[in-house]
């Protein structure tokens, strides 16, 4: 007997819920420029998109695999400067520059990750922080190559077959297309054996290892993957603003990226988008508090970690899941 169409539709939706959500969000995003026509506001959304690419990767490393990095603005900056240097001198066109930069950053992250990922907690935080500090120092001091504090200008935009992404609107579709690719990759990873291994080692490395998870290799791989996300975001940044300087790639930017992860929720892919949006837009809505931003950011971080250690979105979601499960158990108890 074939189930009726309504049941089959329900099964279809249930079985493809992840993919359908991505498509639904894609359609909604495609419609956003109909409502947001102001170039300034589109520009803000583009900036959110660029950070979202970086934070998606960082959330895999911090939220999902349970590690800590205070150095991802370093990878972000290397991505931006890599693309800038390779294209400004006419050595490469933007797309090959983006790919080569990502590959170089991946190799660097591999060599950085092999020794540092033996460390845990505070030590790992300090090691990655040190890496970011060095990158920033080099960007500021190595005048001859990086242009020092004044940076590099005249970076060409990305394009495809004569069509360049050189307006706010065009770049909006490019960057948010990239965000959706990143979201899909993250969701895919989480629904695989590799992803389960990462979630497991985040909670108990010994138990994960005895189940067959190669803990050290998996940590290094997710670190490299997150660095590549950050590097790609950096390349997008350079080609969007046509200008880079060291300011956006200091250790304080790394801290901002971590705050975005925490606000979005540890391990939550969709939450990441919300986290980036909140932390990016906050300064624009609280302009009168400008002098206190570091203080506010710090306060937000401390409050969330105190009361919802899993991050804002994940923490609330876990709370709901638990409440529902308890209610179901209670309901079953009454029924019997």
Partner 1 sequence: MRGPAGPPLLEIQGLSKNFGGVPALAGVSFPVHGGTVTALIGPNGAGKTTLINCLTGVVRPDGGRILFQGRELAGLAPHEIAALGVARTFQNLRLFPRLTVLDNVLLGLTPQAGVSLAEALLRTPRLRHRERRLKLAALEALDAFGLGGKADWPAGILPYGDKKRLEMARVFVSQPALALLDEPVAGLNSQETAEVAGLIRQLRRQGRTLLLVEHDMDLVMGVSDVVVVLDGGRRIALGTPEEVQRDPRVLEAYLGRMSVTA
Residue ranges binding partner 1 (CB under 8 A):
185, 188-189, 191-197, 199-200, 203-204, 206-215, 221, 225, 310, 318, 321-322, 325-326
Minimum CB separation from partner 1 for residue 204, in Å?
6
DSSP code per residue over 26-83: HHHHHHHHHH---HHHHHHHHHHHHHHHHHHHHHIIIIIT----S-HHHHHHHHHHHH
The partner residues of 160 in beta bridges, in order of sequence, read 163
- Angstrom distance (rounded) from CA 229 to CA 51: 10
Q: How far is the CB of 318 from partner 1 (least distance, A)?
A: 7
Looking at beta carbons only, is 37 or 217 nearer to partner 1?
217
Q: How far is the CB of 310 from partner 1 (least distance, A)?
A: 8
Q: From the CB of 184, what's the least distance to partner 1, in Å?
A: 8
In the complex with partner 1, which residue's Cβ is closer, 64 or 75? 64
| Nearer to partner 1 (CB atom), residue 196 or residue 242 | 196
Nearest alpha-carbon partner for 223 in 2, 32, 27, 65:
65
| DSSP string computed for 187-225 | HHHHTSHHHHHHHHHHH-HHHHHHTT--HHHHHHHHHHH
If the CB atoms of residues 22 and 80 are measured against partner 1, the closer one turns out to be 22
**Minimal distance in Å, beta carbon 165 to partner 1?**
24
What is the three-class DSSP state of 117? coil
Q: What is the three-class DSSP state of 161? A: coil
CB of 154 vs partner 1, minimal distance in Å: 34
Find the shortest distance in angstroms from Cβ 56 to partner 1.
12
Residue with Cβ nearer partner 1 (177 or 248) = 177
Which of 136, 221 has the CB closer to partner 1? 221
For the chain, what is the radius of gyration of the CA atoms? 21
Are 180 and 26 in contact by the 8 Å Cβ rule? The answer is yes
- Shortest separation between residue 325's beta carbon and partner 1, angstroms: 6
What is the per-residue DSSP string for 289-300? Answer: GGGGHHHHHHHH
User: How is 137-155 classified by DSSP, letter by letter?
Assistant: HHHHH-HHHH-GGG-EE-P
Cα–Cα distance for residue pair 10/19, rounded to 1 Å: 15
Q: Which is nearer to partner 1, 122 or 332 (CB)?
A: 332
| Pick 141 or 323: Cβ nearer partner 1 | 323
């Amino acid at each position: 007997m074939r189930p009726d169409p309504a049941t089959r539709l329900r099964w279809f939706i249930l079985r493809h819920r992840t993919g359908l959500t991505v498509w639904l969000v894609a359609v909604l995003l495609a419609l956003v420029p109909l409502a947001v026509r102001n170039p300034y506001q589109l520009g803000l959304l583009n900036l959110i998109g660029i950070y979202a690419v970086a934070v998606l990767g960082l959330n895999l490393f911090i939220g999902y695999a349970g590690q800590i990095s205070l150095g991802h603005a370093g990878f972000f900056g290397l991505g931006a400067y890599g693309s800038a240097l390779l294209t400004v001198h006419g050595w490469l066109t933007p797309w090959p520059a983006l790919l080569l930069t990502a590959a170089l950053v991946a190799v660097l992250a591999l060599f950085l990750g092999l020794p540092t990922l033996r460390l845990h907690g505070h030590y790992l935080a300090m090691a990655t922080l040190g890496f970011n500090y060095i990158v920033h120092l080099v960007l500021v001091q190595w005048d001859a190559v990086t242009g020092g504090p004044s940076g590099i200008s005249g970076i060409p935009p990305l394009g495809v077959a004569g069509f360049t992404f050189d307006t706010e609107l065009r770049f909006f579709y490019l960057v948010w297309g990239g965000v959706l690719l990143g979201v899909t990759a993250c969701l895919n990873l989480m629904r695989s054996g590799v992803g389960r291994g990462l979630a497991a080692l985040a909670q108990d490395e010994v138990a994960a290892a005895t189940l067959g998870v190669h803990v050290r290799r998996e940590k290094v791989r997710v670190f490299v993957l997150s660095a590549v996300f950050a590097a790609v975001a950096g390349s997008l940044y350079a080609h969007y603003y046509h200008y880079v300087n060291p300011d956006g790639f200091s250790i304080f930017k790394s801290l901002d990226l971590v705050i975005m992860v925490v606000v979005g929720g540890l391990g939550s892919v969709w939450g990441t988008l919300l986290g980036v949006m909140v932390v990016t837009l906050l300064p624009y809505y609280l302009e009168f508090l400008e002098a206190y931003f570091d203080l506010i950011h710090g306060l937000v971080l401390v409050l969330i970690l105190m009361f919802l250690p899993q991050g804002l979105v994940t923490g609330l979601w876990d709370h709901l899941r638990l409440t529902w499960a308890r209610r179901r158990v209670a309901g079953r108890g009454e029924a019997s």
